[in-house]
Structure 1
Amino acid sequence: MNSNFPRIITLLRKERGLSQKQAASDLQISQALLSHYEKGIRECGLDFVVRTADYYNVSCDYLLGRTPDRSGATLTVEDLPDPEAAGKENKFRGSLLPTLNKKLIANSLNIIFDLLQKSNNKGLTTEVSSYLTLSVYKMFRTIYSANPKNPQGLFAAPQELQRGLSAAAQFIAEANAICIADGNDAGQLSGLNREDALALSPELISQQYPLFASSLYNLIQNAETRMGVKKAGVKK
């Protein structure tokens, strides 16, 4: 059995507020055996996987960590909602600061990913995406873990290791992206061809991205202010 199974069955049980004794009884095994399954000490059979999936109303693929979707569905680009789609996830109450910062970041990301597409380098796109993904992961986990009662079973990385592991992975992604952008290979990832390196300037960015350029410039200014630089030096 893979390492995800113990974590996920523990998370599902705690989410339902079930004691180990109650869940074991419902699943027709002893509490001791369920404890071993949840700790990864023993491996279960396929029949128990199926029975557990039915019990928690999730797919076997989800129990085994093969998909993050509890129904077992796999996402395609078409399945993903637009970041600006209407819905409660996009509504902020009170301060306008979250909405402002979200727009600055989202609009700047539109530019970054369009430039990556134009650069036509799979390795650069992969490493930049990995770096940004890890940034979101780290900040989401910080917010999620602010309440110590929230079940950490959502995450595979232990709480005491996640900061170091995510920082290391992010550092590697950044190093690879820099290496590739400089035209050098990073392992099996090919360096960016010089002819594919985009010619950019504030003026060109403003022309190519009239809707998003001001967001990028404000983000740069905010970032450098946070870095202790008084003036960004970017002309709009």
Structure 2
Amino acid sequence: MEFNRIITLLRKERGITQKQAAAELGVSQALLSHYEKGIRECGLDFVVRVADYYDVSCDYLLGRSADRSGLTLTVEEIPNPETAKDSVYKGSVLPTLNKKLISNSLNILFSKLAACPDKGLVSEVSAYLMLAVYNMFRLLYASAPKNAESLFRVSPGRWQGYSAAAMSTAQANVKAALDGENMGNGPALKDTSCFAMTTESLSKDYPLYATSLFNLIKNSEGRIDRVR
């Protein structure tokens, strides 16, 4: 399932037709179409050919690595955007790993937003992310009965519903802005070319952080697959 998705992604990122890719890979367009749709499974020789053609690793093609090079990083090897020296939290690697994946991915997200002329978009994206952190922090805080609820202004019976509504509003505003609607805080966004990107361009532009983003996407979609 990963292989057919990834070879389709790579072809489209390169901007070539299925007919052209098939010819250069030495197979018929019909066969390549079957591979991309997951109707047929290919042999190892074709996997290697595709890896050479798109300059990626076989592990990446097979979904074993989220990085084009096939790199699998340990928590110590993932770049830390902070100066903190701690590599683990109280002996646990997982919180540190996840924190790095999120922090490094946010670096890319806000770098892309910085190139956008619509600064209102940054505000809406930031609002959504801050609300997500607020939600998780408040749940943790409320789980300890001795914690004073007066830290928060919104009442216990309302905050979850209100927060969900605020997040939905922020997400809707982001979608509307990207669709070219005027958000009332400046000219409408007419050109989203500043957000054009491929896995190759992300790896090149953000060599320290791209692997974290790719792993965050992979982990998130794995979580989605378990609930859909």
Aligned to 2:69: none
Distance 2:161 2:117 in 1: 32
Kindly state the Cα deviation for residue 99 of structure 1 after the two structures are TM-superposed.
0.1
1:41-80 paired onto structure 2 within 5 Å: none
Kindly state the Cα deviation for residue 191 of structure 1 after the two structures are TM-superposed.
3.0
Name the aligned partner's letter for residue 203 of structure 1: E
Kindly state the Cα deviation for residue 87 of structure 1 after the two structures are TM-superposed.
7.5
| TM-score between both structures, scaled by the size of structure 1 | 0.58
Post-superposition CA distance 1:206-230 (Å, at most 9, x none): 1100000000000000110100179
Post-superposition CA distance 1:182-203 (Å, at most 9, x none): 2212344643231654221111
Distance 1:153 1:159 in 2: 10
Q: Does 1:85 align with 2:83?
A: yes
Q: Does 1:191 align with 2:188?
A: yes
Confirm or deny: 8 A CA contact 2:102 2:212 kept in the other structure. Answer: yes
| Among 124, 127, 130, the residue aligned to 2:127 | 130
- Secondary structure of the 1:114 match is helix
Give the unaligned 5+ runs of structure 1: 1-81, 231-236
CA-based RMSD: 2.3
Confirm or deny: 8 A CA contact 2:178 2:192 kept in the other structure. Answer: no
- How many residue pairs get aligned? The number is 148
Post-superposition CA distance 1:120-161 (Å, at most 9, x none): 211110100000000000001011111122001111111110
Q: Does 1:159 align with 2:148?
A: no
Post-superposition CA distance 1:83-130 (Å, at most 9, x none): 613378x86112200000000000000000000001121111010000
Confirm or deny: 8 A CA contact 2:113 2:122 kept in the other structure. Answer: yes
Distance 1:86 1:197 in 2: 32
| Among 175, 179, 190, the residue aligned to 1:178 | 175
Name the aligned partner's letter for residue 138 of structure 1: N
Name the aligned partner's letter for residue 215 of structure 2: N
- Secondary structure of the 1:119 match is coil
Aligned to 2:201: 204
Aligned to 2:219: 222
Name the aligned partner's letter for residue 205 of structure 1: L
Larger Cα-atom Rg: 1
Distance 2:92 2:198 in 1: 34
Distance 1:160 1:154 in 2: 15
Distance 2:192 2:121 in 1: 15
Q: Does 1:99 align with 2:78?
A: no
Name the aligned partner's letter for residue 131 of structure 1: Y
Aligned to 2:139: 142
Q: 1:229 to 1:119 in 2, by over 3 A?
A: farther
Q: Identity rate of aligned residues, in percent?
A: 46
Distance 2:147 2:194 in 1: 45
Q: 1:128 to 1:189 in 2, by over 3 A?
A: farther
Give the unaligned 5+ runs of structure 2: 1-79
